[in-house]
């Protein structure tokens, strides 16, 4: 399946671990995401054993103030993992509801599995941006690549982009991403977005782990063309990602706000448009401000700059003062050149 990004911002609902161990919940989530206005549903394709090792040693313990402190990586991913045999029914439900279905592969077997499903986009998660062999293997499929840059410095981003281009894939989207869960808006550094686009000549966007929609709206204003946000039917489902995921009503509000922000960007233009162009007539212009007779000299009392804009432009005020009126004119007459000698 080929895929071309739409002209508008592409809004992605991230299913991730928000399934509560139920395929029915997944399918209901897809329907709710479509109803909320998402363009796509994204999942993650891994098993605990393809993403980490089942090991209790210190390296594999989660700590340092995360939501998941006190467990191991393997235990976390065992809980979060989406069974691979659920992918096909989720994909089918997404397509029935007009959504693009795609995924983040975490190893070569996941890429192969997704390729067999004809998944149209591959997303590289932020912690995998340093896995150059994985990026090359996915990019070689010739599908659009979305890459989160959360943990990467400029050199690592450059290496990931080069890996895609080395295998002939230049359809690349780089997402700014704060790899914290939930993320503090103060850490978003959204001004990086236009610099990413300029430096690498790619589409840019945001993978947003903050709890509201303000950061996503700001990202669109700075050029984001893809916005990804975690989505959950109900936070009562629980799970590793519940606290920073949006509910259907919240996501619908996000979509509505993003579309307004996107519309407000408009095109490069100086001067009023739409209703503002019509209302321009209420701007200032020159009017006869008191009754004058033919032969009277215009003064600051008889000629004023006022609203509306039906008279001569105020720029002519100084050159009109002191000139003689050619005919009688009542107060409220728009100033015209024909009124003076």
Closest to 227 measured CA to CA, from 139, 146, 125: 146
pTM of the model: 0.85
Structure tokens at 244: 């920073």
> Residue with structure tokens 């001004």?
191
In 3D, which of 145, 84, 140 has the Cα closest to residue 117? 84
Q: Residue 11 has what pLDDT?
A: 98
Closest-CA residue to 11 (of 33, 40, 51): 40
Q: How far apart are CA 193 and CA 223, in angstroms?
A: 7
- Three-state DSSP at 3 gives coil
Q: What is the pLDDT of residue 273?
A: 65
CATH number of the structural domain 10-46+81-265: 3.20.20.70
The pLDDT of residue 241 is 83
Q: How far apart are CA 223 and CA 210, in angstroms?
A: 18
Q: Which structure tokens are listed for 128?
A: 């995998």
Instruction: pLDDT tens for the chain, 341 residues: list them.
Output: 789 999 999 999 999 889 999 999 999 999 999 999 999 999 999 999 999 999 988 889 888 767 767 788 998 888 888 999 999 999 999 999 999 999 999 999 999 999 999 999 999 999 999 999 999 999 999 999 999 998 899 999 999 999 999 999 999 999 998 877 788 999 999 999 999 999 999 999 999 999 889 999 999 999 999 999 999 999 998 887 888 899 999 999 999 999 999 999 987 777 666 676 667 788 999 999 999 999 999 999 999 999 999 999 999 999 999 999 999 999 999 999 999 99
d(CA 110, CA 87): 11
CATH no., domain 274-339:
3.90.1210.10
Q: Hey, how many other C-beta atoms are within 10 angstroms of the C-beta on 80?
A: 19
Q: Enumerate the domain spans of the chain.
A: 10-46+81-265, 274-339
pLDDT value of position 58: 86
Interior CA angle at 243 toward 11 and 53, to 5°?
90
């Amino acid at each position: 399946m080929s895929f071309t990004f739409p002209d508008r911002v592409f809004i992605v609902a991230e299913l991730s671990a928000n399934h509560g161990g139920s395929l029915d919940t997944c399918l209901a989530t897809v329907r709710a995401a479509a109803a909320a206005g998402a363009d796509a549903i994204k999942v993650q394709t891994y098993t605990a054993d393809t993403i980490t090792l089942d090991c209790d040693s210190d390296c594999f313990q989660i700590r340092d103030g995360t939501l998941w402190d006190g467990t191991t990586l393997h235990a976390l991913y065992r809980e979060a993992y989406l069974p691979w045999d659920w992918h096909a029914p989720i994909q089918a439900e997404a397509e029935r509801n007009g959504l693009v279905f795609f995924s983040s592969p975490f190893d070569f077997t996941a890429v192969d599995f997704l390729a067999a499903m004809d998944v149209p986009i591959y997303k590289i998660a932020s912690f995998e941006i340093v896995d150059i062999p994985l990026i090359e293997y996915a990019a070689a499929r010739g599908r659009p690549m979305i890459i989160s840059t959360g943990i990467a410095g400029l050199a690592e981003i450059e290496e990931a982009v080069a890996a895609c281009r080395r295998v002939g894939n230049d359809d690349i989207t780089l997402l700014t991403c704060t790899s914290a869960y939930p993320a503090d808006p103060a850490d978003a550094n959204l001004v990086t977005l236009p610099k990413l686009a300029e430096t690498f000549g790619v589409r840019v966007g945001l993978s947003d782990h903050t709890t509201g929609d303000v950061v996503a709206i700001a990202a669109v204003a700075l050029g984001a063309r893809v916005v990804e946000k975690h989505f959950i039917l109900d936070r009562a489902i629980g799970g590793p990602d519940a606290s920073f995921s949006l509910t259907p009503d919240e996501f619908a509000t996000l979509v509505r706000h993003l579309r307004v922000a996107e519309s407000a960007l408009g095109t490069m233009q100086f001067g009023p448009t739409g209703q503002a162009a019509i209302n321009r007539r209420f701007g200032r212009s020159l009017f006869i401000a008191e009754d004058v007779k033919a032969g009277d000299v215009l003064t600051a009392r008889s000629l004023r700059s006022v609203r509306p804009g039906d008279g001569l432009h105020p720029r002519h005020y100084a050159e009109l003062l002191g000139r003689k009126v050619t005919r009688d004119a009542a107060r409220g007459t728009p100033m015209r050149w024909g009124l003076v000698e």
